[in-house]
Amino acid sequence: MKIGVLGTGRMGKAIDVAVAQTAHTIIFRCDDEHLLTPELATQADVIIDFTIADCLQSNLEIALQNDVPFVTGTTGWDAQRGAMSELVQEYNGSFLHAANFSIGVALFRMLASQAARLFDAVEKYDFGIHEIHHTGKADSPSGTAILLGDTMLDKLSSKTRLVYGNSKGKIARDALQISSQRVGAIPGTHRIFIDSTVDSIELTHTAHGREGFAAGSIWAAEWLIGKTGFFTLDDMLADILPKIE
């Protein structure tokens, strides 16, 4: 598989390492000074993108126009989701996105969903999310933390909305708070707090590096080849994981 990589930051470098452990080849790399062109796109079997939200739509359209599947871990483009979906449909193209390509995080989110459902049934528990990342991370809260929050909201009768940041007063009972911390070079830690007057439960996912994110994006690229549609990592996992009774 010939892979075009968009982005030469931390994740771009991690993809270099991950691809070196496979039979695949990186055919080109693009950054702010070397932009994706139709001529480059046609050289790739698939494109993996870790850039910024402002570049996503134009890069995706170039890939779709040239019938190249497109995998992205770029975050911060939720407001453009409808336009992106329409673009993929217009070109009958292949697109897969995830806020976090770690398979461990994906399974962690499934645990979060089940925990929210189970503890919500007892009624006396409250919930919160805290995430920690390196000081170079551009967005806050992380896309993964928001994804965890949305997943839990779907199962919580006591919560109706997400609130971000540190509290400047009381947190409303119906709000699920996501707090953030930026320190050092931490790749990513996400904690879910479940608390009552009688006990507390914590679920924690700690990334040891970016290798898991990069490996997951390559796995997603392998899965996407030959498919058409607007997919998430959940679609891939639903296809490959054992069915839960």
- Tens digits of residue pLDDT in 157-208: 999 999 999 878 899 999 999 999 999 999 899 999 999 999 999 999 999 8
- The answer to whether 184 touches 99, Cβ cutoff 8 Å, is no
Q: What domains does the chain contain, in order, with CATH numbers?
A: 2-101+210-240 (3.40.50.720), 103-206 (3.30.360.10)
Mean pLDDT, range 215-244, rounded to an integer: 91
- The answer to whether 179 touches 142, Cβ cutoff 8 Å, is no
pTM over 0.95? The answer is no
**Cβ neighbours of residue 20 under 8 Å, at least 6 residues apart?**
none
Catalytic residue among 13, 24, 137, 227: 137
Catalytic residue among 34, 97, 124, 133: 133
> Residue 12 — pLDDT band, cuts 50, 70, 90?
confident
> Residue 87 — pLDDT band, cuts 50, 70, 90?
very high
Which ranges in 66-210 belong to alpha helices (H)? 81-91, 103-120, 143-153
The CA–CA distances, whole Å, from 193 to 32, 45, 188, 209 equal 39, 42, 17, 23
- The answer to whether 11 touches 73, Cβ cutoff 8 Å, is yes
- Residue 209's pLDDT is what? 81
Tell me, yes or no, if 133 is annotated catalytic: yes
What 3-state DSSP class applies to 207?
coil
What's the Rg (C-alpha) of the chain?
19
- Residue 218's pLDDT is what? 96
Tell me, yes or no, if 243 is annotated catalytic: no
